[in-house]
């Protein structure tokens, strides 16, 4: 049985321990494909292009589509996005489709060559094969103010527990990643969950994008897993000056954060954290 919000599904299982086994039920996070389609062109000559297929946890699908377009710098102005809607038949057992179509305004110019190179994504690896600092630099990301905002170690220590306490689907399933935007005082603004790390970030930043907020230069991105290259790239697209991860960063993530002046923190917990780049913001 799938939850009404589509995020979790119940399964018959066997619980096994040293004392024996017994039947039971377990609630697991749902993972389903979602296709993002893009509508563009002048009236009378509109085109539609399949842009991405990603494995995600259903929920906040419009935010996911908008966040993907924004963090990949395909669309940088919320005013260029028209209707965002489901299309195609409903997914099995649910009322909505697994296809989201984003309509761009007729004045928006689209690089067809670039669209042709985009994207097959998976829940585990993000956008595979794009691990190139030069390719990211070509997207027009800007260097950050390397001194602001100031970050308190006391707040950094609190952020992982604050994030963990704001994950309702993880609480039920134990199977989802989460991402949050926090203020320097530790206040969580928005939290999103998904089976994929990059999807959680796209949903999160998609919410801000749809609200007209494309520069989060006064905020911190907090993620429940490791800090990968593609997550740092997405954070930079939104102007986020700091990322706090519960897990380890990759070497390329550190290189990218250093190049653009981001504070990158890994292994964050109530007891410790490592500052890999951007030490100048710490107080």
- The 10s digit of each residue's pLDDT in 77-136 is 999 999 999 998 888 777 888 999 999 999 888 876 666 655 444 444 444 434 345 555
Are residues 176 and 259 located together in one domain of the fold?
yes
Nearest Cα neighbor of 158 from 129, 130, 187, 118 is 187
* HSE-CB for 18 with a 13 A CA cutoff: 0
If one counts the domains in the chain, the total is 2
Are residues 271 and 162 located together in one domain of the fold?
yes
Are residues 234 and 276 located together in one domain of the fold?
yes
Are residues 88 and 160 located together in one domain of the fold?
no
Are residues 230 and 161 located together in one domain of the fold?
yes
Model confidence pLDDT, tens digit, residues 123-149: 444 444 343 455 555 467 889 999 899
Is 11 part of a structural domain of the chain?
no
Contacts of 278 (CB under 8 A, 6+ apart): 146, 241, 242, 257, 258, 261, 262, 263, 264
Is 37 part of a structural domain of the chain?
yes
Are residues 182 and 129 located together in one domain of the fold?
no
Are residues 84 and 168 located together in one domain of the fold?
no
Is 130 part of a structural domain of the chain?
yes
Is 5 part of a structural domain of the chain?
no
Are residues 238 and 161 located together in one domain of the fold?
yes
Q: Which of 109, 137, 165 is the last residue of a domain?
A: 137
Q: Which two tokens stand for residue 191?
A: 């939290």
Q: Is 125 a catalytic residue?
A: yes
**What percent of the chain stands above pLDDT 90?**
53
Q: Which of 137, 165, 182 is the last residue of a domain?
A: 137
Q: Which two tokens stand for residue 57?
A: 């946890």
Contacts of 256 (CB under 8 A, 6+ apart): 133, 136, 229, 232, 233, 236, 262
Is 221 part of a structural domain of the chain?
yes
Are residues 274 and 203 located together in one domain of the fold?
yes
Least confident of 158-162, 165-169, 173-177, 233-237: 173-177
Is 185 part of a structural domain of the chain?
yes
Q: Which of 110, 137, 164 is the last residue of a domain?
A: 137
Give the domain range for residue 236: 153-281
- 5 DSSP assignment: T
Question: Which residue of the set 87, 125, 135, 283 is catalytic?
Answer: 125
Concatenated DSSP letters for 99-129?
EEEEEEPTT----HHHHHH--BEETTTEETT
């Amino acid at each position: 049985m799938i939850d009404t919000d589509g995020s979790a599904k119940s399964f018959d299982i066997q619980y096994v321990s040293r004392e024996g086994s017994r039947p039971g039920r377990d609630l697991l996070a749902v993972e389903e494909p979602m296709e993002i389609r893009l509508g563009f062109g002048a009236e009378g000559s509109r085109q539609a292009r399949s842009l991405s297929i990603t494995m995600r946890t259903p929920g906040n699908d419009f935010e996911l589509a908008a966040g993907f377009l924004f963090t990949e710098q395909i669309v940088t102005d919320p005013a260029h996005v028209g209707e965002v809607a489901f299309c195609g038949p409903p997914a099995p057992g649910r009322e909505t489709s697994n296809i989201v179509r984003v309509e761009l305004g007729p004045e928006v110019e689209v690089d067809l060559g670039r669209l042709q190179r985009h994207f097959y994504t998976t829940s585990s690896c993000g956008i595979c094969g794009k691990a190139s600092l030069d390719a990211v630099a070509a997207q027009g990301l800007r260097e950050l103010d390397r001194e602001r905002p100031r970050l308190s170690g006391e707040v950094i220590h609190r952020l992982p527990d604050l994030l963990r306490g704001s994950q309702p689907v993880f609480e039920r399933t134990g199977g989802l990643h989460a991402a949050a935007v926090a203020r320097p005082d530790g206040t969580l603004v928005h939290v999103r969950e998904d089976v994929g790390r990059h999807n959680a970030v796209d949903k999160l930043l998609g919410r801000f994008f749809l609200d007209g907020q494309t520069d989060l230069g006064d905020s911190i991105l907090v993620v429940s897993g490791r800090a990968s290259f593609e997550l740092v790239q997405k954070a930079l697209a939104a102007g986020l000056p700091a990322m706090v991860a519960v897990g380890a960063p990759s070497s390329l993530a550190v290189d990218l954060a250093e190049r653009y002046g981001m504070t990158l923190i890994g292994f964050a917990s109530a007891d410790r954290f490592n500052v890999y780049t951007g030490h100048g913001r710490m107080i």
